[in-house]
Amino acid sequence: MEERQISKAVIKRLPRYYRYLGEILDSGMERISSGELSSRMKVTASQIRQDLNHFGGFGQQGYGYNVKYLHDEIGKILGIDQSHNMVVIGGGNMGQALSKYASFEKNGFKIKGIFDVNPDLIGKKIGNIQIYPTSDLREFVKREKIEIAVLTLPKSAASEMADILVSCGIKAIWNFAHTDLNVPKDVVVENVHLFDSLLRLSYNLSSYEKE
């Protein structure tokens, strides 16, 4: 694997390959040509060949790609073969919704606890997952070997909490707060800025309407 030379653009596309290959696998197809994958994914076949070549010769001339093999290999590259322990910070609407996503757990992403400062929420369970007081976070992260924190606080509280998470040894933050976080270089952040996304939709909608 030459993962470190892989560009960010390719990495951004990998989960989408994984998703399409999963769908193709579910439909019972065992192999697929880059041409067919291209027409499904609306990406050029040469782009597909170029992207997948980064990960070694998964394709064979005249045969195409072995769907299951390619799906598994990309899954490994994405870290799906290992399990990842997570906490959700914030027991509000979004925190609860994410805690109920069964597909995360099925793929090795296990939410071990939800943390909140609200006394009305502490002690409750969302599905099987308990809500703990934020004061228990540090010890919990250590004991439960938590790697990923899902941050669903309002932006006013998000930056301070990010500092706490870093000080607890968290190395990855999935950030749903409506603000960017300042974290050290060895902590990875993936943003889900929902309102930014809605504004892109709104922009595209209004630019169509003007045409």
Interface contacts to a copy of itself, rule CB under 8 A: 3-4, 11-12, 14-16, 18-19, 23, 77-80, 82, 84, 93-94, 96-98, 100-101, 103-104, 107, 109, 147-148, 171-172, 174, 178-179, 186, 188, 190, 192-211
* Sequence-ordered alpha helix ranges (H) in the chain: 8-26, 34-41, 45-53, 67-77, 93-99, 102-106, 137-143, 155-167, 194-210
For the CB of residue 194, give the shortest distance to a copy of itself in the complex, in Å.
Answer: 7
For the CB of residue 196, give the shortest distance to a copy of itself in the complex, in Å.
Answer: 4
For the CB of residue 199, give the shortest distance to a copy of itself in the complex, in Å.
Answer: 4
If the CB atoms of residues 87 and 98 are measured against a copy of itself, the closer one turns out to be 98
| DSSP assignments along 154-197, one per residue | -HHHHHHHHHHHHHTT--EEEE-SSS-----TTSEEEE--HHHH
If the CB atoms of residues 31 and 178 are measured against a copy of itself, the closer one turns out to be 178
CA distance 53 to 72: 15
If the CB atoms of residues 68 and 84 are measured against a copy of itself, the closer one turns out to be 84
CB-based contacts of 74: which residues, under 8 Å, 6+ apart?
Answer: 14, 17, 18, 21, 55
If the CB atoms of residues 62 and 106 are measured against a copy of itself, the closer one turns out to be 106
For the CB of residue 142, give the shortest distance to a copy of itself in the complex, in Å.
Answer: 17
